Structure 1
Amino acid sequence: MSTRTYRVIVRGVLDGLDDDRRAWLRDHAAEHDLFASSFTERGSTAYDGSLAAFSHRVVVHVDPGPGEEDDARTAGELSALQWLEEVGVGARRLRSTATCTDDVRIRRR
């Protein structure tokens, strides 16, 4: 069975930051600039120096069928939560959008 490919964007608010985590995030902010982020299978997280909000972009593959978009959003949110756990910060107010790249049509001129 083939899979469908989705690009998922997860947005949220960084939460539970202590002084050490704030310092670490600020030290690594250049690596997580919005202009450096891209859709990858590992995921790419962006935030700015204010440390208020973040976005996580990821490519996921899901089985086709009813609810596949929900499955893609869930996989994207899990990817974002995994990154947040790796760097030791929490998040709240997560929201996500998913776009199936298989359905995108490219208009050629």
Structure 2
Amino acid sequence: MTTRTFRIMVRGVFDGLIDGQRAELLAAAPEHDVLHAAFTREGHLSYDLSARSAFTFRFLDEGEAEEDILAATERAEQAAESWLTARGYGFKNLRSQAEDLSQAPLGKRQRRAANAAG
């Protein structure tokens, strides 16, 4: 069996932050800038609290079968919730979007490389 790679985005909105939490997030904002966003196994958080209270976690996971994406999505949601809860950050409207990269359409360069190899 081949290994499938899944990219999962867990989105939500910070809710009920107190001034100290907001200041803490603003101080850490440069490391959570969307320009540095990446899909990682441990999850990467990005937000721009000065513009809006939304956030996105990006996770990378693997599985062997197509249906493994459901378990990967559940793990990503739990990891995001745990990270937020451990820091005392309130949140709401948590939702996920997952993509199986083995099912993703090839980009122009990938099609060209596949045609050249074949």
Normalising by the smaller structure, the TM-score range is: 0.7 to 0.9
Greater Cα offset, 28-37 or 86-95? 86-95
Query: In the TM superposition, what is the alpha-carbon distance from 1:18 to its structure 2 partner?
Result: 1.1
Query: In the TM superposition, what is the alpha-carbon distance from 1:101 to its structure 2 partner?
Result: 1.6
Aligned counterparts, 1:90-101, within 5 A:
90-101=90-101
Name the one with the larger helix percent. Answer: 2
Structure 2 unaligned blocks of 5 or more = 113-118
CA contact (8 A) 1:58 1:79 kept: no
How many residues matched? 108
Q: Percent identity?
A: 39
| Structure-2 residue corresponding to 1:83 | 83
Greater Cα offset, 54-63 or 79-88? 79-88
Deviations 1:49-80 (A, max 9, x none): 335110000012235254x3322221111121
Name the one with the larger strand percent. Answer: 1
Greater Cα offset, 91-100 or 80-89? 80-89
**SS of the counterpart of 1:102?**
helix
Aligned counterparts, 1:25-40, within 5 A:
25-40=25-40
Bigger Rg over Cα: 2
Q: Does 1:61 align with 2:62?
A: yes
CA RMSD across the alignment: 2.0
The runs of at least 4 aligned residues of structure 1 exceeding 4 Å deviation read: none
TM-score by length of 1: 0.84
